[in-house]
Amino acid sequence: MCRSIKTLRPTPTAPETVTPDEIRAAALQYVRKVSGFRAPAAHNAEAFDRAVEEITRSTAELLASLEIRGRRSA
């Protein structure tokens, strides 16, 4: 599921390059896949948008809390 969502977790050798827009795009793609809607009908728009925002926030929190082994502090 959601095979085309790219991995956002930084690697030990790559700099942190994930942007808020990339996090939101991944959340939007996830909600689209789970709901089955590319764009929801008006009566589902609020629930759809709320899910995207909650997943965006949760993803940002997850990425911020991950400890990446092998990564050196700057």
Segment 25-67, tens digit of pLDDT: 999 999 999 999 999 999 999 999 999 999 999 999 999 888 8
Residue 71 burial (CB count, 10 A): 15
Give the pTM.
0.79
Question: Over 80: is that where the pLDDT of 74 sits?
Answer: no
Looking at residue 14, its pLDDT comes to: 66
Any long-range contacts for 52-60 (C-beta under 8 Å, 24+ apart)?
52/24, 52/27, 52/28, 53/27, 55/27, 55/30, 55/31, 56/20, 56/23, 56/24, 56/27, 59/8, 59/23, 59/26, 59/27, 60/20, 60/23
Looking at residue 7, its pLDDT comes to: 76
